Amino acid sequence: MENKKEKNKITIVTHSGQFHADDIFAVATLALMLEEKNEIKVVRSRDPEIINGADYVVDVGGIYDEEKKRFDHHQLEGGGVRENGIPYASFGLVWKKYGPELAGDSEASSKIEQKLVIPIDAYDSGITLGSSLFPDINYYTIDDLVAAFRVTWKENEKELDTRFEFLMNIAKQLLVREIKKLKDKKEAEKFILEAYAQNNNKTLLNLDKYYPYKTCMDSMPDILLVTYPDAVGENWCLEAANVPNKKFVSKILLPESWAGKRDQELETVTGVPGAVFCHKDRFFAVAKTQEGIIKLAELALEEAGK
């Protein structure tokens, strides 16, 4: 029997003690990059000898040097600052080097940088990105999730390495999912824009699948309503497009008389057989057939004078 080629052994070192999202995601990024072709060992230590002997070092060691595969930001000169003023922490330094390759291209890497990397780096650098509109109620962030797994004064610090590995695996899965979603969104763009081009009425977008159409809205500024089948294929949905940069503000509302209506009551008020539901806030409706949902969309546009 032919022997499988033995994998190279790669050691990644990060600091021991309490962990943060920064070091967890930096190690997770490296692991995703390396584990297919290499046997990865993660060591948490502050021992200079162990650090010097590592293949990759993140968030410890006092050196930032991509060529030497050292990614710390705690030294006096730090690891550099972005154009927006947010310093690079170790996650950002690792992502700057390996993100484009891992994500597939620079565009996807940049989107993950904006969505995930910069917020983690900002927190690690003591920078607050925003505040809650409600007193004593705050966002629950990735950093809060990580903090929940750090040991309390009543727990043994020996548990930290096991918890680090647990969180690192979560971070790996999250990165994989974010990359997957971006690739699938990119692939969907051509189908969305084709459907838009085929529509005579540029205020209504009719999709044959639930594509992530919101990523293409800059190319379809006239769209007010979108129809698509639901995820399980049982019904069809009608959704109002959002005002640009306002996630919860719709460009158009469905007729007031539809609000909160269901089944027979909604069929009666709309005159559309198979009408199922209209959200009380009038941004979303459901029908049993594509014909029915398109009819609801056309009625809504007509009532709105569009």
Residue 251: closest CA among 261, 259, 243, 263:
243
**Which pLDDT does position 48 carry in this prediction?**
96
CB atoms within 10 A of CB 73: 24
Q: Can you give the pTM of this predicted structure? A: 0.85
Question: 81-95, 196-210, 225-239, 244-258: which has the highest mean pLDDT?
Answer: 81-95
The torsion defined by the Cα of 225, 228, 230 and 233, in degrees rounded to 10, comes to 160
- The residues, ordered by sequence, that sit 6+ positions from 209 with a Cβ below 8 Å of its Cβ are 191, 228, 229
**Which pLDDT does position 1 carry in this prediction?**
42
**Which pLDDT does position 61 carry in this prediction?**
96
Tens-place pLDDT, residues 1-54 = 445 567 899 999 999 999 999 999 999 999 999 999 999 999 999 999 999 999
**Which pLDDT does position 231 carry in this prediction?**
82
pLDDT band, very low/low/confident/very high, at 201 (cuts 50, 70, 90) = confident
**Which pLDDT does position 2 carry in this prediction?**
47
Tens-place pLDDT, residues 241-255 = 999 888 889 999 999
**Which pLDDT does position 248 carry in this prediction?**
86
On average, the pLDDT of the chain sits at 94
pLDDT band, very low/low/confident/very high, at 130 (cuts 50, 70, 90) = confident
Q: Rounded to whole angstroms, what are the CA distances from 60 to 1, 21, 22, 23, 27? A: 44, 14, 11, 9, 12
In the block, which residue shows the tokens 């971070």? Answer: 171
- Higher-scoring residue by pLDDT: 198, 270: 270
Rounded distance, CA 115 to CA 185, Å? 15
Q: Which two tokens stand for residue 257?
A: 């008389």
Q: How far apart are the first and last CA of the chain?
A: 71
Q: Rounded to whole angstroms, what are the CA distances from 20 to 45, 158, 171, 268? A: 15, 16, 12, 57
Tens-place pLDDT, residues 73-95 = 999 999 999 999 999 999 999 99
In the block, which residue shows the tokens 């050691």? Answer: 11
Q: Which residues pair with 58 in a beta bridge?
A: 14, 71
Percent of the chain predicted with pLDDT > 70: 98
**Which pLDDT does position 4 carry in this prediction?**
59
**Which pLDDT does position 26 carry in this prediction?**
98
Question: Quick check: 276 and 266 in contact, CB under 8 A?
Answer: yes
Percent of the chain predicted with pLDDT > 90: 84
Q: At residue 234, does pLDDT exceed 50? A: yes
**Which pLDDT does position 88 carry in this prediction?**
98
Q: Which residues pair with 227 in a beta bridge?
A: 206, 238
Residue ranges of alpha helices (H) inside 2-117 are 21-34, 48-52, 90-103, 106-112
**Which pLDDT does position 200 carry in this prediction?**
80
Report the run of H or E that residue 205 belongs to, with start and end: strand 204-206
Q: Which two tokens stand for residue 131?
A: 């505040």
